[in-house]
Amino acid sequence: MPPLILVVDDEPKVARLARDYLEKNGFRVLTAADGQSALATARREKPDLVILDLMLPHIDGREVCRILRRESDVPIIMLTALSEEIDQVTGLEIGADDYITKPFSVRALVARVRALLRRTRGEVKAPGIVRVGGLEIDPEKYFAAFNGVPIKFTPNEFKLLYLLASHPGQTLTREQLLDDLHGAASSTDRSVDSHIKNLRKKLESASNQNMIETIYGIGYRFNEK
């Protein structure tokens, strides 16, 4: 079952934006608009991760974080409109695992959620060597080769290649590929398309095969053959 995320924010637009994008990326999402309902929901539903706004009515985010940390080890990402270092440090000192400041990129938020779940739940195994057909990719050594002949890729091309080849036959959306790159707000669907175009050229030059298939309107798929 997909991880359950609790989004706590008293701004409806922010909560809706985070909920919609997280659901679009495969998560289950609950929302709460104040500290009291956040604690009640967390105790009842046992979410896998909490995204918690710092400034909340009734019980503020700091106190909610303290209470949640006393009661459980649920991962917490603190949301704050304040950028001062003292607020970020305070959030971490009272038990938050990470923080992100408003306004935030929804892609960056999803990337933070995935990264924190990986660290705390061990959902994703440590990267290992991927072999598909004659292609071999070693993320530890930052090495890729086809039939033993090395192929040079840029860092972003290598990341995309590893992600696609790790899921042969599975269609990955542009948004999933963007999240894997770095979740930066400056990243766009077009930048992914550009990286894939260059990646495909290098693979075809080395193998005389079309290893990456475009699934129009959705994303890309790595061919298993």
Task: Give 8-66 pLDDT, tens digit per residue.
Answer: 999 999 999 999 999 988 899 999 999 999 999 999 999 999 999 988 988 999 999 99
217 in the Ramachandran plot: left (φ > 0), alpha (ψ -120 to 50) or beta?
left
Kindly report the average pLDDT of the chain as a whole number: 85
Q: Is there a single domain that holds both residue 47 and residue 67?
A: yes
Q: Is there a single domain that holds both residue 82 and residue 182?
A: no
Q: Is there a single domain that holds both residue 135 and residue 218?
A: yes
What is the domain-level CATH number for residue 135?
Answer: 1.10.10.10
Q: What are φ and ψ of residue 7, in 5° steps?
A: -105, 120
Q: Is there a single domain that holds both residue 84 and residue 188?
A: no
Q: Could you tell me the residue range of the domain that residue 39 belongs to?
A: 4-121
DSSP element (H, E) containing 179: helix 174-181
The whole-angstrom separation of Cα 167 and Cα 122 is 19
Distance of CA 84 to the CA centre of its chain: 25
Q: Among the three residues 102, 121, 140, which one is the final residue of a domain in this structure?
A: 121
Distance of CA 151 to the CA centre of its chain: 27
Q: Is there a single domain that holds both residue 83 and residue 191?
A: no
Q: Is there a single domain that holds both residue 90 and residue 135?
A: no
Q: Among the three residues 54, 87, 121, which one is the final residue of a domain in this structure?
A: 121
Q: Among the three residues 92, 121, 150, which one is the final residue of a domain in this structure?
A: 121
For residue 91, give Cα distances in angstroms to 43, 164, 186. Answer: 21, 36, 27
Which tokens go with 14? 């922010």
Q: Is there a single domain that holds both residue 135 and residue 217?
A: yes
Q: Is there a single domain that holds both residue 138 and residue 79?
A: no
Give the up-direction half-sphere exposure of residue 200: CA atoms within 13 A in the CB hemisphere.
Answer: 15
Strands 171-173 and 219-222: antiparallel
Residues 70-104, buried b or exposed e (16+ Cβ, 10 A)?
Answer: eeeebbbbbbbeeeeeebbebbeebbbbbbbeeeb
Q: Which of 223, 108, 122 is nearest to 175 (CA)?
A: 108
Q: Quote the crossing angle between the two packed helices 174-181 and 189-207, to the nearest 10°.
A: 90
Q: Is there a single domain that holds both residue 68 and residue 151?
A: no
Residue 141 binned pLDDT confidence (cut-offs 50, 70, 90): confident
Q: Is there a single domain that holds both residue 52 and residue 149?
A: no
- Our count of domains for the chain comes to 2
Q: Is there a single domain that holds both residue 95 and residue 161?
A: no
Query: Out of 22-31, 200-209, 216-225, which region has the weakest mean confidence (pLDDT)?
Result: 216-225
Whole-model pTM over 0.75: no
**125 or 32, greater pLDDT:** 32
